[in-house]
Structure 1
Amino acid sequence: MIRIVIVDDHAVVRSGLKLLLDARDDMTVIGEASEGEEAIRLSEQLLPDVVLMDLSMPHGKDGLTASRELQQRLPEIAVLILTMHDDEEYLFRAIQAGASGYVLKSAPHEELVNAIRTVAAGNAYLHPTATKRLMIEYLERLSNGESTDLYETLTVREKEILSLAAKGYGNKEIAEQLVISVKTVETHKGNVMEKLGLRSRPDLVKYAAKKGLLNFE
């Protein structure tokens, strides 16, 4: 079961989402919060697989700040942004905050369900319009001569796994150190290789060495 915490300042929205998601055989809503600080406390207590996070919450901590803090404290939890804002600035800021996905409230129900399953499996999810915008932004930056540090596209957990894998730890050892499953390690490692354009373990080690990630404590 995918364990979910819903964060939205509107009680009616939370109730509707709970009904929708609890009706799925592989999902269960284990908690609700109306603002970011409450979401962080609840996530630390319940340790959900996915936090479904609204961006605009006028009372209390906003969704972007809460997402950033959640990724710092609990990087194993996937944050999926669910918002009405179809805006490039919000999209880029959400990704920078460490969110694993971004879905519009106007999206069909099945898209939301698919997005939750995708981020719960350790992958990223963006609705098609957002993906196109990111590609356009990336190409514009390249055409303007701006350098893009691919390392900064990694999540906190992916950076941890990159460092440990480069130091020679196997998937089982990494899983034990980070208290996650071997399958999750494999998924994250695959994401790291894809994001950084690496093809083999030697490539991974060389990249980690250039980044100064091979210092043993």
Structure 2
Amino acid sequence: MEKIHILIADDMEAHRRRLERIINSVDNLFLVASAKSGYEAVAFAAIKKPDIVLMDIEMESQMAGIKAASEIHKILPDTKIIMLTVHQDNNIVFAAFQTGIVDYLIKSALKEEIIEAIYSAANNQSPIRPIIAQKIRQEFARIKKSEDQLTHFFKIVANLTQSELEVLKLLCSGLKRKDIAEIRAVEVETIKKQISSLLKKFDKSNTKEIITEVNELKLFELIGEIS
């Protein structure tokens, strides 16, 4: 069988040695270099041009492996990168896959699983592992929930009167009821009634909750852009 050239990148010697033993135990797997940092990984990859990189995430910095993977793909787009890490955080997993990695294994994975992952990557057959599939489903569910919340929010905004919208804008700019009443040239009681209506429509218990949501979604910046 044709040799598969492999680069290891891990800042912990024990992990590097384990991976080296695994690679050296298989006839057609060939270790081209062993890097201790993301910087070394990119440099060794550029020189050795490996088929596969087994990359740790946290080395000289928390996301060093992810940054290194991104750089390697820029110079060697055909090189397959497998992340071997202790991290299972959703944000880190998705950040890793956004760099173009093909697989994501936990460092405690069995020798056989690591070898299988190398062969699968070399043959462009890397699987979507159950842990990754679960995280993808969770991310889609989160996005769907966020979209539903956004739709609900703008339905409420669409049902505000022009006066309520103006009062809401002034509230979000940090003004008090009395100041808003002076600007609007109305009684404070009128402003209180409009705020009460806003609380009811947004189904919130206080104006701070509405202001936080409106400012997070940058509603009035958006209105300013389209008006």
TM-score range, shorter chain: 0.5 to 0.7
Equivalent position of 1:187 in the other structure:
none
Equivalent position of 2:111 in the other structure:
109
Report the Cα distance in structure 2 between the residues aligned to 1:61 and 1:41, rounded to whole angstroms: 17
Report the Cα distance in structure 1 between the residues aligned to 2:62 and 2:143, rounded to whole angstroms: 35
Q: 1:135 to 1:17 in 2, by over 3 A?
A: same
State the TM-score, normalizing by the size of structure 2: 0.59
Q: CA deviation at 1:53?
A: 0.4
Q: 1:6 to 1:139 in 2, by over 3 A?
A: same
Unaligned runs of 5+ in 2: 149-227
The CA RMSD measured in Å over matched residues stands at 2.1
Equivalent position of 2:87 in the other structure:
85
Report the Cα distance in structure 2 between the residues aligned to 1:54 and 1:14, rounded to whole angstroms: 10
Report the Cα distance in structure 2 between the residues aligned to 1:21 and 1:13, rounded to whole angstroms: 12
Equivalent position of 2:42 in the other structure:
40
Question: 3-state DSSP class of the match of 2:83?
Answer: strand
Matched, 1:8 2:5: no
Structure possessing the higher radius of gyration over alpha carbons: 2
Instruction: Give, as a single letter, the amino acid of the residue that structure 2 aligns with 1:49.
Output: D
Once the two structures are superposed, residues 65-90 of structure 1 have per-residue CA deviations (whole angstroms, 9 ceiling, x without a partner) of: 00011111110101110001122111
Residues 35 and 61 in structure 1, CA contact (< 8 A), matched pair in contact too: no
Between Structure 1 and Structure 2, the one with more helix by share is 2
Higher relative contact order at CA 8 Å, sep ≥6: structure 1 or structure 2? Answer: 1
1:1-217 → structure 2 map (5 Å cutoff)? 1-58=3-60, 62-142=64-144, 144-145=146-147
Instruction: Give, as a single letter, the amino acid of the residue that structure 1 aligns with 2:21.
Output: L
Q: CA deviation at 1:126?
A: 4.2
Report the Cα distance in structure 1 between the residues aligned to 2:63 and 2:86, rounded to whole angstroms: 18
Question: 3-state DSSP class of the match of 2:16?
Answer: helix
Report the Cα distance in structure 1 between the residues aligned to 2:109 and 2:84, rounded to whole angstroms: 9
Q: 1:60 to 1:127 in 2, by over 3 A?
A: closer
Unaligned runs of 5+ in 1: 147-217
Instruction: Give, as a single letter, the amino acid of the residue that structure 1 aligns with 2:28.
Output: D
